[in-house]
Amino acid sequence: MTELHYLSATEMARLVRTRQVSAVELLQAHLDRIEQVNPKVNAVVTLAAERAVDAARAADATAPAGPLHGVPIAHKDLVDTAGIRTTYGSPLFADHVPDTDALIVRRIRAAGAITIGKTNTPEYGTGSHTVNEVFGATRNPYDLTRSAGGSSGGAAAALAAGMIPIADGSDMGGSLRNPASFCIVVGLRPTPGRVPSVSDTAAWFTLAVSGPMARTVADVELLLEVMSGFDARSPYAIKEPFTPDPEISVQGLRVAFSPDLGGLPVDPETAAVTASATAVFERLGAHVEQVELDLSDAEDAFRIYRAWHYALAHDTLDGLGPNTRWNVERGREVTGADLARAERLRSGLY
């Protein structure tokens, strides 16, 4: 029988809903697992155990509040959580405790999930490996000598090690997908606006999005339903609800496949696994065709936009780590002509 902490979130929610398992029992299984493996993996960097136990007891005393009733979750340490330390991976915010929850945290909590803590991230989410000066490095639970990826590496490692069943992450240039690949879990970067964010400084910035992570596709689907939804304060928020169709079929669809998106370096093992997935679509009735794409301009445009965003977000270099500092310095060099060129490149790619 699968251990309680390794069940899917969908199954956990069903067990709590039908009173076969209490929310307190489910939470304790995850707290025990965190105590057992987190000292080695270093994925959960702030633990809100007492608060979580109180929430679990309240969940057991009430009718199910939503599709995630009683299911534990940890939030990425870039996401504000009221009353729970949120450092953004920076020594400047090592003791920072927000007064309010981020929009996705409010939505997840309203669906009945129980916040168990925060997951590690590089400083301000900068980098493809999860390490910072506040908490150190998150290690891959499959091999403690290797990286868990980033910047949602804490979430991916915690999922893989059975410390949590679902997690939120964020992605500017692979930060949901890269750690999911490293840790053999599922990370989905949604279309910008599918999971809206409310920002006073970057409302029109579409490169960075929040998204769901889990050990199964079904759990990612469930969490995305909870995280998504229109919010008028977000200019890109999608009005149409996310309503997955369980009967959806790819029969007869034409699917284009590119092994390297026009020349990007791909690890041979990754390329082989990805190519094998085309056979799945073909068995389901889709017509898969390998195509040659030229997306060589994408990296140039991305680097300009990313650097510009970092310069907007940081007025000073004081206290910044080397990765963040480098990005801010590059951003301060970006000119109006650079931004115009990036916009032309992006438009041409579309």
Do 150 and 128 contact (CB within 8 A), yes or no? yes
Using DSSP, state whether 76 is helix, strand or coil. strand
Catalytic residue among 8, 147, 170, 175: 175
Is 268 in contact with 237 (CB distance < 8 Å)?
A: no
Phi and psi of 84, rounded to 5°? -125, 130
175 vs 180: CA distance, rounded Å: 9
- Block residue for tokens 């750690």: 179
Which of these is catalytic: 76, 147, 170, 197?
76
Task: Provide the Cα torsion 146, 148, 149, 152; round to 10°.
Answer: -160
The CA distance from 27 to 38, in Å, is 15
First to last CA, the chain: 49
Query: Is 234 a residue of the active site?
Result: no
* Chain-centre distance for alpha carbon 42: 17
Based on the residue annotation, tell me whether 40 is a catalytic residue of this protein: no
How many other CB atoms sit within 10 Å of the CB of residue 98?
16
- Convert 251-301 into a string of H (helix), E (strand) and C (coil): CCCEEEECCCCCCCCCCHHHHHHHHHHHHHHHHCCCEEEECCCCCHHHHHH
CA-CA distance, 153 to 309, in Å (whole number)?
22
Name the CA radius of gyration of the chain, rounded.
20
**Looking up tokens 């951003």, which residue turns up?**
331
Q: Bridge-partner residues for 257, per DSSP?
A: 290
Report the 10 Å Cβ neighbour count for 332.
13
The total number of residues written for the chain in this structure:
350
- Asked about 147 being catalytic, the answer comes back as no
Which residue is catalytic, options 8, 151, 197, 234? Answer: 151
Q: Using CA atoms, how far apart are residues 154 and 149, in angstroms rounded to an integer?
A: 9
Distance from the Cα of residue 247 to its chain's centroid: 26
Catalytic positions are 76, 151, 175
